[in-house]
Amino acid sequence: MKTTLFASPTHEAFVCHHKADTVVVSFAERKEPPPAGFSGEAMLAKSPHAFCCIRSLTNDWYVGGDFAACLDAVADAIRPYAHVILYGFSMGSYGALISAAALDADRLVLMAPVANIHPDKDRRWIADYQGLIGGRSAADLAPRIPAKTRVICVYDPKGPDRGHVADLKAACPVQVILTPRAGHMVFRFLNNGGILGSVTRMLFEPQVDIAVAQALVRSSMRQNSYYIAELARAMSRHKLLRRLVLRYGLYRFPGDLPLRLDYAGAIAEAGRFDRAAAMIRAVVAEKPTAAVSVAVIRALAQYAEQGGSPDAVADLIAPYASDRPRSREIQLLYARFLRHTRQFDQAIGAHESFMKGGPFSAQGFFERGLIFEELGQPVQAEANYRAALAEAPDFRRAAQQLARLKGHGARNNI
């Protein structure tokens, strides 16, 4: 039976007690707009373990004011259990890491781990918690992991979380399961391969065989549409190869809606605008809840970038003009559609909702730089590229645009 342990405007926690030696404590990931549901609740309800679920209602990365009180309530509730496993993805992984000592964890199962949220370590989500960590150092925000705790990380070895895994390895022994091409979206990668539950339950077992779990991930890639889509995305400079990979993906997974939308974007690149618009429209008709989604707006942005008429997709783009809450990625892609269709004022207005610090602010400044270049205002464009680099110093495209602009200006002054 579910028993509420803590409830406040910022955090919630509950426990389900069983006659078991092990309790699994899950920490919810971030969600836009918040809050996320309790992570793994349905899966854990089918497991032999007792379990406790914690979530942040505000995407505060578990550094908000009353999280300590929430953690105290959880610690009291799980004290009778001999073994404690903490589990989380992304923001949830950070919650698990910083709670390891307080909950006396025996094992941490971390999907797409984030080991430190200090801006010197990671700025991807700085807007979520910048006001909560003022004055705290990177050392202060690093987790304190007990010597007895076994740490297992599931991540993409070439993805954006590899630096966090390297930091964890420097601090304690870490076992890894690799998910190539997953990027940060390890949950989606495992789910699309049909093995999210299997792998996760395997990592909760008393004796974990990392090699068997890795083999399961490897074998699942043959039937993983997300892997194929990311493989195609990596071929963006090779348009024909990209279309061939996506066509193969559609042959293998004809009902996969994100693949169909990616293919629509790819055929727009080939100038087949009517067919691309029809494919996007068919997906939205089949799944109306996808009308406002990353996959749909990405396809529409690609369509517009290649010169497709905005009038032909006016019905598809209309829902994005509302004030309905949405993720930063959706809003960025919508702003990009507006730029490609030369609706510059609307594009700049669309930037405002996600320019709150970090990489998405950098993307907004970059988009504005491109707009000012289109308008023949190189000074304003240069200022925005510099602002993008101030937010994300490793933003290569902004650095390239700035160098090109400065080089062009130097040639004009000769």
The phi and psi torsions of 29 (rounded to 5 degrees) equal -75, 175
Domain at 63, CATH number: 3.40.50.1820
**Which pLDDT tens digit goes with each residue over 186-245?**
999 999 999 999 999 999 999 999 999 999 999 999 899 999 999 999 998 899 999 999
pLDDT at 412: 56
C-beta atoms surrounding 414 within 10 Å: 4
* Domain limits for position 157: 2-220
Residue 353 has pLDDT above 70, yes or no: yes
Residue 410 has pLDDT above 80, yes or no: no
Structural domains in the chain (count) = 2
CA distance linking residue 23 with residue 15, whole number of Å: 9
Query: Is 407 contained in some domain?
Result: no
Residues 63 and 105 in one domain: yes
Q: Of the candidates 126, 122, 79, 121, which has an alpha carbon nearest to the alpha carbon of residue 103?
A: 79
- For 370-413, the DSSP string reads HHHHHTT-HHHHHHHHHHHHHH-TT-HHHHHHHHHHHHHHHHHT
Residue 386 has pLDDT above 80, yes or no: yes
Query: Is 154 contained in some domain?
Result: yes
Tokens of 300: 């529409």
Q: Is there a contact between 23 and 86 (Cβ–Cβ < 8 Å)? A: no
Residues 167 and 244 in one domain: no
Tokens of 130: 């910048």
Q: What is the pTM assigned to this prediction?
A: 0.91
Domain boundary among 263, 290, 321: 321
**Could you say which DSSP state residue 234 is in?**
T
Please, which pLDDT band fits residue 409 given cuts at 50, 70 and 90?
low
**Which pLDDT tens digit goes with each residue over 249-266?**
999 999 999 999 999 999
pLDDT at 378: 94
Please, which pLDDT band fits residue 407 given cuts at 50, 70 and 90?
confident
Residues 57 and 147 in one domain: yes
Domain boundary among 220, 241, 273: 220
Residues 236 and 216 in one domain: no
Query: Is 105 contained in some domain?
Result: yes
Residues 211 and 314 in one domain: no
Residues 28 and 167 in one domain: yes
Residues 278 and 130 in one domain: no
Tokens of 215: 């083999």
- For 268-284, the DSSP string reads HHTT-HHHHHHHHHHHH
Residue 408 has pLDDT above 90, yes or no: no
Contacts of 9 (CB under 8 A, 6+ apart): 57, 58
- Sign of the Cα torsion 48, 150, 79, 6 reads negative
Query: Is 387 contained in some domain?
Result: no
- For 109-141, the DSSP string reads EEES-----STTT--TTHHHHGGGSTT--HHHH
Query: Is 233 contained in some domain?
Result: yes
pLDDT at 86: 99
Residues 154 and 23 in one domain: yes
Tokens of 253: 């997974």
pLDDT > 90 in the chain, percent? 92
Residues 149 and 166 in one domain: yes
C-beta atoms surrounding 236 within 10 Å: 11
Domain boundary among 287, 304, 321: 321
Tokens of 329: 């990625």
Residue 102 has pLDDT above 80, yes or no: yes
Residues 317 and 208 in one domain: no
Could you tell me where the DSSP H helices lie in 65-194?
A: 67-78, 91-99, 126-129, 138-141, 162-171, 186-192
pLDDT at 115: 98
